[in-house]
Chain A
């Protein structure tokens, strides 16, 4: 299957700072990537759809200015949590897939555990 790599796996940052999470497709090109957020013992909630070369599409209730998404190449999407606060602490997961598998399978990164202190 396709490989999606997410980095870092864990990050701790101070309140008010920004942190960037990277999502890379290692063996395929991804025009679309997805960013999810997962609170402890809860489900994955789609935050936004990242589109290569254009603006991301955010789900209702997700602050665009808080969660900046950049999809500058066909193999890399980044999520930047700006001016982080303790309530932004969560598990963030990205997913992507080759175009011909878009409907049939999604491949997930390993996830990033963000802790804001």
Chain B
């Protein structure tokens, strides 16, 4: 069975600084998708970034980028120039057969 692990329950970062959130996963499949979702206090799930496993190039969306290491089954999220609005729960997710499997989440605090 596929599993997704986020080893950092909480992280904090100073405004304008950079922070990296870790995620590892376990799967025997070769083709899959990985996602980072943000859940602010409103609890609305917001897609931050996605990565197709067959693509070697790391995905980037503005201040958000990933470090995808397929052999190591690692998928970390880097947030550059952190902003107060980045404070939220961040969930790493693995997609298989249209189902999403979520990690346990990392609570990110951003300090001014």
Contacts and interface: CB of A to CB of B under 8 A. Distances in A.
A110 B40 CA distance: 11
A72 interface: no
B43 A32 contact: no
Contacts of B105: 42-43
Given A91-B43, A95-B45, A108-B45, A103 B102 contact: no
B95 interface: yes
A79 to B, nearest CB: 16
B43 A104 contact: no
B99 A34 contact: yes
A112 to B, nearest CB: 10
B103 A106 contact: no
B103 A104 contact: no
A93 B93 CA distance: 15
Given A44-B91, A93-B45, A111-B43, A106 B100 contact: yes
B64 to A, nearest CB: 15
B91 A95 contact: no
A13 interface: no
Contacts of B102: 43-45
Interface string B82-112: 0000000001000100111111110000000
| CB-CB nearest 7 A-B residue pairs | A108-B45, A43-B102, A44-B102, A102-B98, A43-B104, A111-B43, A43-B105
